[in-house]
Amino acid sequence: MIEFYNVNLDINRVGILRNISFRIVKGEFTFLIGPSGAGKSSIIRMIYMDVFPISGMVVVDRYSSAKIRRREISMLRRKIGVIFQDFKLLTDRSVFDNVAFSLHVVGERNKEIKRRVLKVLAEVNLSHKRNQYPDELSGGEKQRVAIARAIVNNPIIVLADEPTGNLDYASSVEIMNILERINKQGTAVLMATHDAALLKKYSHRQISIDQGVLNKK
Amino acid sequence: MKIWFSFIEGIRNIKRAKLASTITITSVAFAHLLIGVFLLFSVNINQIIGDVRSKIELEVFLEADLSVKSGRSVEKKIIGLEGVKDVKYISKEDAAKRFQEEFGRNIYEVLTFNPLPSSCTVKVKKGYRNYSFIKKLSTEIGRIDGVDEVKYQKQILSLIDRYITIVYAIAAAAGIILIIIAIVLLYNTIRLTIYGRKDLIDIMKLVGATKTMIKRPFIVEGFVEGLFGALIASVILYGSILLIKRYIYPYVVNAVEIYIILLISGATIGIIASGMSLVRHLKEI
């Protein structure tokens, strides 16, 4: 479902990734591990086609980085949910509206939006906070809103870039449990992290990267 | 994304960046106020000049001893000329009557004879009331047998014709400059709003919004701000004209078309300005 073939990436002429090849299959839970600056975020950005390799190829679903057209990038992103360390919520609208936003953008009907948003908010245990604003929530709750937004479109994969980076251990575990639950329902998860405690607790496949190169295990 | 959602998002953008929106609306209003003043000024000048022009007529004095019959035939010849709207023959007797009306005395009492020549008053059709045509017409009339002299308000006409082009050119140039200023102002504030909404644009991109979807709320924002600015200008202008009409100059012309032009211009400038800033800055974000 996601394949990297000998991918090299430069950003502003600085080498970021060198000769990266790996594959993630449907429904798989994978950790992307490595120290800060190793290139984890770049790999994630390449999957949602925000940056492109200078050589090699990234294939996601039926789209290839070599051939994808601008319009298709939008279509691809509708099949991918992304969450970040800093949540990226819109502070001027409620929890409900933050989640609904991604459905409005793709032109979903109001009735359907309401149904689906309420459903995913229940999945992340935030139904009772749907009318609150992000600034009124704890870090863990904010990340759960972000997760709700990421999964409301029924993506084939959720990309999580250090989702627990700003959270305490208890909240991190909570986020992990939600991600695992999503994974059990058939959605692949790729989670970039360097949180050793979590890696010890959860035994999923690991892709390890350091200074832009894959560590062979 | 549905159009109404873009519309709501656009309005949200305006509310969110209150200061930027206020600055934008104010500057559009100011520019359109000036544009409106120029338009109203032009319309009024046009009206005044039109009035002056419509009053312009040629006085054709006929030879002293020309019979009424010959005079009538001169009248007919003049009517046949291009651009002539109306000719009125004034016989010697009519002229004497006019003298009596104007000066209150009978010409025969003053002079014992009537020295006033018979004449024709010639009115010119609209569109022909300019100096060069009237000059040509007066020469043509002068060539007709029985015509002694042709008189008209040469100076006023040549003055109007000489300066009207300059006045219109200045008004047009000022209008164009103001429109450009309005576009630049709007362009800059919308550009700032776009930078300020980087998070929103990022999230839109992330959840799979196409470029058009991302642009639409900003286009709506430009449209609404432009329209609103122009509306404010129109209201101020309309009120001012009413006051001028009432207290200063009752003949001032207030044309509805001007307000329609202002509103269309405001909305269009808004769309153009936000379109321009998006084209340039969507790539950078």
> Among B4, B5, B207, which would you mutate to test the A interface (most chain A Cβ atoms within 10 Å of its Cβ)?
B207
pLDDT at position A217 over 80: no
Which letter, b or e, does each residue of A185-205 get, where b requires 16 or more Cβ atoms within 10 Å of its Cβ?
A: eebbbbbbbbbeebeeebeee
CA dihedral for B237, B229, B259, B128, sign (positive or negative): positive
- Which of B:182-211 have CB within 8 Å of A? 199-200, 202-211
DSSP code for A215? P
Q: Which helix (H) or strand (E) holds A171?
A: helix A169-184
User: B121 - beta bridge partners?
Assistant: B59, B88
Res A144: pLDDT: 94
In chain A, residues with a C-beta closer than 8 Å to the C-beta of B207 are 77-78, 101-102, 105-106, 149, 153
pLDDT of residue B283: 65
E-assigned strand segments in A38-146:
55-60, 63-64, 80-84
The answer to whether residues B185 and B224 belong to one domain is yes
Q: Which of B152, B181, B200 is the last residue of a domain?
A: B152
Is residue B278 located within the same domain as residue B168? yes
Residues of B in contact with A106 (CB under 8 A): 1, 207-209
Q: Is there a single domain that holds both residue B170 and residue B245?
A: yes
Domain range holding B129?
Answer: 57-152
Asked if A105 lies within 8 A of B205 by C-beta distance, the reply is no
Q: Which of B99, B123, B152 is the last residue of a domain?
A: B152
Rounded CA separation A194/A85 (Å):
12
Confidence bin at A216 (pLDDT 50/70/90): low
Specify whether B171 is located in the same domain as B145: no
Residues B169 and B276 in one domain: yes
Check if the beta carbon of residue B142 is closer than 8 Å to that of residue B108.
Answer: no
Beta pairing class for B84-90 and B119-124: antiparallel
**Could you read off the pLDDT of A77-117 as tens digits, one per residue?**
999 999 999 999 998 899 999 999 989 888 888 899 999 99
Same domain for B47 and B165, yes or no, is yes
Same domain, B166 and B280: yes
**Count of the separate structural domains present in chain B:** 2
CA distances from B87 to B76, B93, B101, B141 (A): 8, 17, 21, 12
Are B164 and B280 within one domain?
Answer: yes
Nearest to A77 among B2, B200, B208 (CB): B208
Burial (CB count within 10 angstroms: exposed 0-12, middle 13-18, buried 19+), residue A127: middle
Q: What single letter denotes the amino acid at residue B53?
A: R
Report CA Rg, chain B. 31
- Secondary structure (3-state) at A85: coil
- For residues B118 and B73, membership in a common domain is answered with yes
> In the structure, what pLDDT confidence band is assigned to residue A55 with cuts at 50, 70 and 90?
very high
Structural domain ending residue among the three candidates B105, B135, B152 = B152
In chain A, residues 63-92 whose CB comes closer than 8 Å to chain B: 70-71, 74-78, 82, 88, 90, 92
B176 with B275, same domain?
Answer: yes
**Residue B56 to residue B76: CA distance in whole angstroms:** 20
Structure tokens at A215: 């560590």
Per-residue pLDDT of chain B (285 residues; tens, 9 = 90+): 577 888 888 888 788 778 888 888 888 898 888 888 888 888 888 888 888 888 888 888 888 788 888 888 888 888 888 888 888 888 888 888 888 888 888 878 778 788 888 888 888 888 888 888 888 888 888 888 888 888 888 788 888 878 888 888 888 888 888 888 878 877 887 777 777 777 888 888 888 888 888 888 888 988 999 999 999 999 999 999 999 989 988 888 888 889 999 999 999 988 988 888 887 766 654
What CATH number is given to the structural domain containing B112?
Answer: 3.30.70.3040
- pLDDT at position B169: 86
Q: Does B143 lie in the same domain as B174?
A: no
Q: Locate tokens 């329609």: which residue? A: B260
Distant-in-sequence, close-in-space partners of B55: CB < 8 Å, separation ≥ 6? none
Q: B253 and B180 share a domain?
A: yes
Count of other CB atoms within 10 angstroms of residue B151? 12
The A residues from 114 to 153 touching B (CB cutoff 8 Å) are: 149, 153
| ipTM field | 0.86
